Chains A and B, each alone.
Chain A
Amino acid sequence: MSDSDNDLTSDNISGNSVSPVTIRNLNIEDDPRFELLAKNPKRTEILIAISFAIAAVLFVAMMVDYVKGANTQVEGGLMAAAFCLLGIGMVAWGKYLMPKGPFEESRHRTSSTDEDKKEFVDAFIGRGKIAVSRRSFLGKILGAAMGLFGLFLLGPTLRSLGPNPNNALNHTAWKKGSRVVTTDGKLVHVNDLDVGAFMTVFPEGVIKKSELEENQQDLYNSQTLLIRASVDNIVTEKGRETWGPQGYLAYSKVCTHAGCPISLYQQETQQLLCPCHQSLFNVLDGAMPIFGPAPRPLPQLPLAVDPQGYLIAQADYNEPIGPGYWGF
């Protein structure tokens, strides 16, 4: 960058051309652009000083408040006021008590001169010819080696982070004969729910005595909505005749759209609404999606009643729960 690249020139901005001189040679007193914007600099100065002083006082007040317990609103209010005062004072200082300008800076073309380009090319190609052009295969091998190292790095930085999916998405913690329990681990009796009631249930064993010991993955996968609907209204799909004893319907609580837990049960309209993206499922008709983005019905858990009257699962879900994913 040459000296004049960046020097402020005194080119008259409004058109009258005077020969450019650098800022160093400029007599500051004579140039109108070095006048201040403030009409009454003394007053501006005093106002700025006051705002800085108040800010200082406010910072002291913050310290006092901190010692007294640091109320968020008091601390924040003081801080906001102090910084706004500092900001206003500082901007005013820069705006009203500085040369009002405008100044200009000349701009040269961005690209290098032809001469510079030529010299660069000479240096790069000329000298490099010996080393590079004639031995390009060395560069290729080097590149390949580094590429392989990069490929290797994918292992420790990505592959080793977690297990492969394998079969994890195809099954849940529900098994044949799993007894249905509530979030408290209580068994669900067939008389527990009135028509129009619902609850979140899990297979026995997933809910532990202490929440600290629970397996979060099992909790997520096996969460199921248990709804009791009026038997007369249920439309039973073929093959699911025995799945809903006495109007009990159990659907996976995981939305088939983006995986949110569905817990909006509209009892009157018999719909399930996903809280995240408002997919709507028809409870009475196999949880078919009737509105919103969800593309598939919620998987239904086949239920049965054991001899003691408790609800059990006939089997695990017969399809993957949750949102779609790329198969493998």
Chain B
Amino acid sequence: MNLKNAPIKSVVLVVAVIALSLLYSLMTNGGNGALKNVKNVSADGSTTVSSTSNVSLVGSTDKPVSMSSATIAKKTDHPKFVGPLLYQNSGVRATYQQVQQGQTLFDESCSSCHGAYASGTDRAPNLVGLGPATIQFWVSTGRMPLSNPIIQPIRKPVKFTQAQILDIVSFVASQAPGGVLIPNIKGVSSATLAEGASLFDINCAGCHTITGAGDALASGAYAPSLHQATPEQVAEAIRTGPANMPRFNPGVLTNAQVNSLVKYVTQGIQHPDNAGGWNLGGVGPVAEGFIGLLIGVGLLVLAAFWVGDRK
């Protein structure tokens, strides 16, 4: 054995051990592979961060993690750390630092429901293996984190910066490979609007309505308005099918078609040509009927009130 290469070799060994144990823990515990700090999650949701390993996690399905933090610390800044892929059609991988920061954020904001390692609890689903697109969609639309689990979370102000969201995505993605990568929407500018409009009519208008205003669905679900969605979120939603939305995988819609849809949603839907004036919320004839009766007939009845005699 060449002593010259000993540090590298030992690191390779450590990485191999970590990878194996990760794989093992993934198979047995549903992805409780720890990279850094381990958090105690108690039943009431309060958390205590512990820097030691082999801590029994109270009140969650998480199991004790069999890895010393010291071992992990060694690989913190190691150049050969292979992070998860984040983007479709690009080799960009999450850095170790992103994963670390992501875990801190995840611990603070997500772990009380989804478990320390995103493997889910009885309060919230397993996130492992869903892929970066899903996580980024839910967090970047402000739907997550959520204080109370409800049927369908609504869009809220986003709690994190773009970079922080990517950190969380990196952390969750680092738990297991696979899932849907963040769609590449660079081709949107060259996509055709008309194709997007046509695809929208067939695939999207059925739930989101033709103006993208959104509407209520059965069983308490609803199709949200598309007016605030960013291009990336539109593509992510199409590909991952959040909540009740069906998934449009590449076999259903090609990348080019998704780009057309993104273009139509961010242009035709979000900046519609309201040549006729105020669009009345874009919900169609019911609103028009109310305006016609209340303002139209109403104003004219008031006029009649003046023209005629009130006695």
Q: Which residues of A contact B (CB under 8 A)?
A: 72-73, 76, 87, 91, 95, 183, 189, 191-200, 227, 261-269, 271, 273, 275, 278, 280, 291
Contact = CB atoms under 8 A, between A and B. Distances in A.
Q: Which 3 residue pairs spanning A and B have beta carbons closest together?
A: A192-B251, A263-B206, A194-B249
B276 A72 contact: yes
Contacts, number: 79
A197 B275 contact: no
Contacts of A191: 251
Given A196-B241, A278-B218, A267 B247 contact: yes
A190 to B, nearest CB: 10
17 contacts: A72-B277, A91-B306, A95-B307, A189-B251, A193-B249, A195-B247, A196-B241, A196-B246, A197-B249, A197-B252, A198-B252, A199-B252, A200-B203, A266-B221, A267-B245, A271-B219, A280-B219
A197 B247 contact: yes
A120 B241 CA distance: 81
B1 interface: no
B207 interface: yes
Interface in B191-233: 202-203, 205-207, 217-219, 221, 223
A267 B219 contact: no
Contacts of B207: 263-264, 275
B241 to A, nearest CB: 6
B252 A192 contact: yes
A5 to B, nearest CB: 25
Given A192-B251, A268-B221, 11 more contacts: A73-B277, A76-B277, A95-B307, A197-B241, A198-B246, A200-B202, A263-B205, A263-B206, A264-B217, A267-B245, A269-B221
A266 B276 CA distance: 34
Contact of A266 (B203, B218, B248, B307): B218
Contacts of B246: 196-198, 227, 265, 267
B243 interface: yes
A87 B277 CA distance: 24
Contact of B251 (A194, A200, A261, A275): A194
B244 interface: yes
A85 B241 CA distance: 55
Interface centre among B217, B245, B251, B277 (most CB of A within 10 A): B251
Contact of B206 (A189, A269, A275, A291): A275
Interface string B272-311: 0001110000000000000000000000000100110000
Contact of B202 (A183, A192, A291): A183
A72 B277 CA distance: 8
Interface string B116-141: 00000000000000000000000000
A280 B220 CA distance: 13
A39 B175 CA distance: 87
A278 B303 CA distance: 40
A266 B219 contact: yes
Nearest to B240: A196
Contacts of B243: 268
B275 A268 contact: no
A198 B202 CA distance: 11
A264 B303 CA distance: 45
A197 B252 CA distance: 8
Interface string B247-263: 11101100000000000
Contacts of A263: 202-203, 205-207
A194 B247 contact: yes
